[in-house]
Amino acid sequence: MSTTNAPDRLTGRAWAVLLVLCGAIFLEGIDISMMGVALPSIRAELGLTTSELQWVVSAYVLGYGGFVLLGGRAADLLGRRRMFVGWLTVFLVFSGLGGLATEGWMLIVARFITGVAAGFMTPAGLSIITTSYPEGRQRTKALLVYAGIAAAGFSLGMVVGGLLTSIDWRWVFFAPVVLAAVLLPAALVLLPREDSTSAEDAPRTARRFDVPGALILTAAMLLLVATVVRAPDVPKGQTLITLAGGLLLLTAFVQVERRSPAPLIRLGILRNAPLVRANLGAILLVGSFVGFQFIAVLYLQELRHWSELETGLALMVLGIDAVLAPTLTPWLVNRFGVGRVILGGFAVAVAAYALFLPLGADRTYLAMLPTFLLLGLAFALAYGPLTIAATNGVAEEEQGLASGVLTTSFQFGSALGLAAVAAVLAAFDELTHTGLRTALLVPLVAAVLGLLAGAPELARRTARV
């Protein structure tokens, strides 16, 4: 797709294509975060425990994270437009089925398949951007707008989720169906068609798919998350066994990738140090945020007895990242470089979580507001630049792979952060302020680790994009 003759500007059609892709990533972000506000209502109607409740979110992100690498590979070989449109349709269908669930297991299965659909759809969308807009200011602008919309969906979904849940929690599932139904015809009209002969002309081994690798990776992540969630409720020996099983599966995954003629991950790509650092940052950033969201919703709804609508409105200020990501963040990236902006985002996140620690029964909203504002700023600073860091310098034919690796990190981080928080809460007999304060240490420590991991190298990176 031709974007523009001017290196810094996008044409009207380029903006239209970007709008469709941003709509899909907004859908993905809002789908996850709307669920957070709806969880107490889902628990009340379907009779789920705290440990079972977290699987409503974890099933989605693990299906997403487990198949996103295969999705990136499929986008590179079968066509980005084809994968985007096809799996957006699957997303639409199973999101609707989730809203019709009458048992917890039915909802969890629907969420897993919806996550698998997102795992194929999202890397296709991101790789359309990275292959359609030339590297430099034009691609940076497109990626920052894309990431800003994703972050906005992630945060504003809590507000929308509160509004919809106040009507009926099932609308949290039906609303994405409506948005997907609008995006689908627009995608068919606007997304660029690709040369269908490129994959056919490739060597036969290059057209293979590493399905065993995807299954082993998904099983490993499921087992590791289950290990964390169940740790407070089972003997230590069983925890060690399942942990060892998860690590063995990861080892098996590496061996499969080494021997596969068409690996899910070309292990050599992991020698790209900026890509590895970006993915570690993605795990810590999103894991801490999702864990905090779970804590905040339980605190406001189940201990403070706020309504779903009040909770959504209280968390609305997190949506400040929708304004800051496309305005402030590009200027900061151009002025200070990607690495330092990411570092600043983690520093702000540490301050935000620390300020929320003294939560109590009489905590006013004004006392909570600084945390919400700072988290919106932290997400705006870190999310987009992490996307840039993970895709810059990667060959065009592996952009789908790089996008898939990054998305896997985001989703595994979400599941791991949520599982760790749920495990801490499960260690207490009932939901208390003490338990929530203890669980809050999980996102705080994750943000500190992100700060410490990035400080030595990222502070030295002064290159501008």
134: in domain: yes
What is the pLDDT confidence band of residue 455, given thresholds at 50, 70 and 90? low
353: in domain: yes
Element counts in the chain: helices (H) and strands (E): 17, 0
Rounded-to-integer distance, Cα 79 and Cα 167, Å: 40
3: in domain: no
Looking at per-residue pLDDT, the higher value among 159 and 414 belongs to: 414
2: in domain: no
How many residues appear in the chain? 465
Mean pLDDT of 2-21: 70
What is the pLDDT confidence band of residue 193, given thresholds at 50, 70 and 90? confident
DSSP state of 193: P
Q: Each residue of 379-419: pLDDT tens digit? A: 889 988 888 888 777 777 676 677 778 878 888 888 889 88
Whether residue 126 contacts residue 407, with contact meaning beta carbons closer than 8 Å, is answered with yes
Looking at per-residue pLDDT, the higher value among 177 and 132 belongs to: 177
**Residue 236's CATH number:** 1.20.1250.20
One-character DSSP codes across 38-54: HHHHHHHHHT--HHHHH
What is the pLDDT confidence band of residue 329, given thresholds at 50, 70 and 90? confident
Q: Each residue of 243-278: pLDDT tens digit? A: 999 999 999 998 988 888 878 777 777 777 778 888
What is the pLDDT confidence band of residue 314, given thresholds at 50, 70 and 90? confident
156: in domain: yes
Mean pLDDT of 362-388: 90
**pLDDT of the residue at 463:** 44
Mean pLDDT of 69-75: 80
Across 37-146, the runs of DSSP E, i.e. the strands, are: none
> In the chain, what percentage of residues exceed pLDDT 70?
91
175: in domain: yes
Q: How far from the centroid of its chain's Cα atoms is residue 251's Cα? A: 24
304: in domain: yes
Whether residue 349 contacts residue 375, with contact meaning beta carbons closer than 8 Å, is answered with yes
**pLDDT of the residue at 3:** 42
pLDDT at 1 over 60: no
**pLDDT of the residue at 235:** 83
User: Please, what is the average pLDDT of the chain?
Assistant: 83
What is the pLDDT confidence band of residue 198, given thresholds at 50, 70 and 90? very low
Looking at per-residue pLDDT, the higher value among 437 and 140 belongs to: 437
**0.75 cut: is pTM over it?**
yes
One-character DSSP codes across 287-317: HHHHHHHHHHHHIIIIIS---HHHHHHHGGG
> In the chain, what percentage of residues exceed pLDDT 90?
24
**pLDDT of the residue at 195:** 55
CA atoms within 13 A on the CB side of 269: 26
Q: Each residue of 94-109: pLDDT tens digit? A: 999 999 988 888 999 9
Domain count for the chain: 1
Is the Cα torsion angle 86, 33, 280, 60 positive or negative in sign?
negative
For residue 193, which of 73, 75, 78, 81 has the smallest C-alpha distance? 81
464: in domain: no
Mean pLDDT of 134-138: 73
Range of the domain at 241: 12-192+208-458
